[in-house]
A and B are shown apart, each in its own frame.
Chain A
C-alpha cells in the first residue's frame, strides 16, 4: 500500500512517536474495518496535540491505540525509548501509569458503587504508593481539582457532570502521569461548565508538567488548548501542524469545510460539503475525501496524497492544497 509518508515527523526527541499506525476491527457481519490507516504523528514533551475530526475519523481509536487499548494491528508507538507495541502485558501495565486518560462521558467513567475517595485513590492502592500519596496528599489533590474534600465519601451520582469530570481528572493525576489523553473531555458537559474544565486542565498541565493529547470535534475548543493540531478524516490524517499555522492558513479542503461549519464563522459556503460520509467499511480509493471534495480531480481518485510541507510546521496530505504555502526561510 502506498503510504502517505512520515515526513511530518520532527527531528529531536519526541515523548511520543507514532508511525504507520493501523487499527483494524472485525466488522459485525464479517469483513474488516480499518478505523485508522497509516497514521503517523509525534508529540514533544510539554506539548498539547489536538486531534480533531468528525464521527468515524478514527481520532478516538488513535488515542486509545497509543496506550494499546487495543493493540494496533500494525505500526509503531514509541514512548520515550519503549516500543509499546512490543511490550509484554506486565511491562505494558507498568508503563501505562505514565499515560492516563479521561473520557467523554463523565458519569460512565466513574464506578457508581464506589465513593469518590476510593475511585481517586485506586491508582495509589494498586501500585502501593501510599508513602508518596498519603491521605493528606489525596485530600489536597481532590481540592486542587475543585472538589470540596469533605464530600470524599459520597458516590458519583451525587455530583454533577462537571464535578464528575474533575473527579476523573484527579484519579488520573494520582498516578503522576507524564501524558494525559483527553478523549472529548468537555463534549458532554454544559456550556457554562466547559470553560471551567478547560481552565482546570490548563492549570493542571502547568502544575504537573503534562503532555496532552486532546481529542475533540469542537474546533473552537481545540483552538483554545492546542499547540499543534491534527485533522483526521475517515481514518487518515488530512492536515497536521502548528495550531496557528493550520487554522490561519488551512490548506486541506476538509479543514476548510470544518472551519466553515463552525456556527458563526464567516468562511464562505464554497467550502461546504456535498454528499455523505462514506462507509468506513469501503472507503474511497486514493484520497478518501474525494467523494465530497469540491476540488476533486482524477488524481485524487487514483493516488493517495502524500504529505507535503506547507509551512515551517505545517503538513498537508492533498493534491490540491487550497491555500498558499508559507515560504520556509
Chain B
C-alpha cells in the first residue's frame, strides 16, 4: 500500500468542521422505553431475585410448624405439609394461604417460579442458539443452505406443538430438562425465521457491502455488522418467547405432563385448580399462582413489545 500520509487538518473554506445535526441529544433510550417498561422489568427482577434466593431463606422441613414466631423473611419449606390448615385462607402469617395439604402457597409459588423460569429460560436459550444461528447463517449465505434451513423451519412449524412436546417427554423423560428441550425445539422455527428475515434486510444494506470491500471476512461481517442489528428484534422476541414458554409449560402441566422432578407453576395450578372441590373450598391456592404467572407473562410481553417498538421506531426515523 502507498505510504500513509495523514492529511493536515486545514480543511479550507468548503470543509466546515461540523458536528451532529441535533442541538441537544435525543431523549435517552431509558426514557423512551417508558414507565411501563421499567415497571415490567421491576416485577421481573423481583420474581427472579426471589427465585434465586429461595434456598437461602427457606427453612428446613418441619421448622415452620415448630416455630410460629419465625421471621417474616423466612419461607416455610414447600414440601412441608400442614404448615397451615387445609386450604387455610390467606392471613398475616400465611400471605398466600395454604393449599389442600396445608403447604404454604407463597413458598410453593416462589419455589415454583424457579422451575418455570428455568424452563422458560432454557427453552428460549435453545431456541435462540439453534434457531438464531441457523437463521442468521441462512439469511447471510443464502443458496442451498438457506433452502434446506427454510424447509426445516417450515416443517417444524407445521408440526403440532403439543404432540411434539408429548412425544419428547414421553419418550425421553418427564424432567425439567426434557420439557425445556421440547419447548426449545418448538422455539427454533419462529426465532429462526425472524433471525433470517432480519438478516436478509440488513445483509443487503450498503454498509455490509462496504465491510466486504474493506476486506472483512464473513465471520467478522456476521459478528460485527449483522449481529448487533439483528440482536435487538431477537431480544424483543426472546422476552415474548419466555412468556409463551411459561404458559406452554403450564398447559403441559394441565395435561398431566409436568416435570416429575420439580413443582412448577403449572403443576401447582394443576394440583390446586383442576379439582372443582378444591377450587370451591380454597380458590386462593390456585388464584395466587395464576396471578403471579399472569403478571410475569404480562411483564415479559409488555417489555418485549416496548423494546421492539422503541428500536423499530429508531430504525425508521433513521
Contacts and interface: CB of A to CB of B under 8 A. Distances in A.
Interface string B102-138: 0000000000000000000000000000000000000
B56 interface: no
B314 interface: yes
Interface stretch (A50-58, A122-130, A226-234, A265-273): A122-130
Contacts of B11: 143-144, 146
Nearest to A102: B210
B210 A168 contact: yes
A69 B212 contact: yes
B228 interface: yes
A258 interface: no
A256 interface: no
Interface string B1-25: 1111011110110111111111001
A140 B15 CA distance: 13
A62 interface: no
A61 interface: no
Contact of B214 (A122, A136, A148): A122
A239 to B, nearest CB: 29
A151 interface: yes
Contact of A151 (B9, B19, B209, B211): B19
B66 interface: no
A133 B315 CA distance: 32
A295 interface: no
A105 B318 CA distance: 12
A208 interface: yes
Given A137-B4, A137-B6, A146-B15, A94 B215 contact: yes
A145 interface: yes
Contact of A113 (B4, B21, B228): B228
Q: What's the interface size class on A, roughly?
A: 35 or more
Q: What's the interface size class on B, roughly?
A: 35 or more
Nearest to A175: B214
A83 interface: no
A107 B318 contact: yes
Contact of A207 (B7, B205, B229): B7
A324 to B, nearest CB: 39
A120 B214 CA distance: 11
B142 interface: no
Nearest to B229: A113
Interface in A145-196: 145-148, 150-151, 154, 156-160, 163, 168, 171, 175-176, 178, 195-196
Interface of A: 67, 69, 93-94, 96-101, 103-105, 107-114, 119, 122-123, 126-127, 129, 132-133, 136-137, 140-141, 143-148, 150-151, 154, 156-160, 163, 168, 171, 175-176, 178, 195-196, 199-200, 203-204, 207-209
18 contacts: A69-B209, A96-B215, A97-B214, A108-B205, A112-B229, A114-B228, A140-B7, A144-B11, A151-B20, A158-B21, A158-B25, A163-B18, A171-B210, A175-B214, A175-B215, A195-B14, A196-B16, A200-B15
